[in-house]
Amino acid sequence: MESFNDYEVFKKRFYDLSDIDLNLYKEKQMKRRITSLADKYGHNTYCSFLEEMKRDPELYKIFINYLTINVSEFFRNPTQWQYFENKILRETFKHRNLQDLKIWSSACSTGDEPYTIVMILNKYLPFEKINILATDIDLEAIKKAKAGVYSSRSLKELPKEYLDKHFSKIDDDSYQISEKVRKCVTFKQLNLLKDPYPTGMDIIVCRNVLIYFTEEAKNYIMKGFSESLRSDGVLFIGSTEQIMNYQSFNIKPIETFFYQKAEG
């Protein structure tokens, strides 16, 4: 029997089912991930795996969660978050009231990054003055984010002051972030490759996501981010990413992993 030779057919049928276009994801990486999961469930063709997903909503949820690569943690790459606080918030926007900043955590996964932003802002603002927009394509990830329960592994880079102030220990390996922090984030589902982007943003955080997309998809997303940012707005990307053709999007690098939109 042929094994996993039906990827083109699978992509078309999966798009009909999910509205997610796998053509915009790097094929080698995506096929490897899907093959691994399909094989785990006893399938040797993509389409037979898809048929089981249609019959089993829980498997479909598992697949979407697996597909969207929800690898996230608090304060991932701490020096970048220090730059975010000390240079972006305190210097780039020093003439602005921090409570007026419009911040979008894009592809927020399970909430680690928008909650990190809230905890940093809370050093300068009361909770009731903080409101972060956080979006992701994966509703299961958003559900986890709203619950705010994390393993100790997700918190390994978190400074102790934040852990002590904002988290309650549930058991030996899990913690819940405080309701006060959770209330500062508005979570919404958004497909970066299809849905309209919010506008007038001062800061967009989108870290370690672009690496999974084709160049065509990356360019589409970067164009959308540029249009979403206001003049002088800042884009914060991940440590595995670099925007080579940044001039095309009317942005310029101001530090490694940070880009600013040109004025006017």
Delimit the CATH 3.40.50.150 region(s) of the chain.
Answer: 78-261
This prediction has a pTM of: 0.86
Reading the block at residue 222, the tokens are 């970067």
Q: Give me the mean pLDDT over the 229-255 stretch.
A: 92
| 60, 20 contact by CB (below 8 A) | no
Residues of the chain with pLDDT > 70: what percent?
A: 97
96-149 residue pLDDT tens: 999 999 999 999 999 999 999 999 999 999 999 999 999 999 898 999 999 999
Closest by CA position to 235, among listed 218, 253, 247: 253
Confidence at 1, pLDDT banded by 50, 70, 90:
very low
Closest CA to 201 of 82, 105, 87: 105
Query: Residue 72 pLDDT > 80, yes or no?
Result: no
Structure confidence at residue 248 as a pLDDT band (50, 70, 90): very high
162: nearest Cα among 72, 81, 71, 257 = 81
Superfamily of structural domain 78-261: Vaccinia Virus protein VP39 (3.40.50.150)
Local confidence band at 38 (pLDDT 50, 70, 90 cut-offs): very high
Mean pLDDT score of the chain: 92
Q: Rounded to an integer, what distance in angstroms lies between the CA atom of residue 186 and that of residue 143?
A: 12
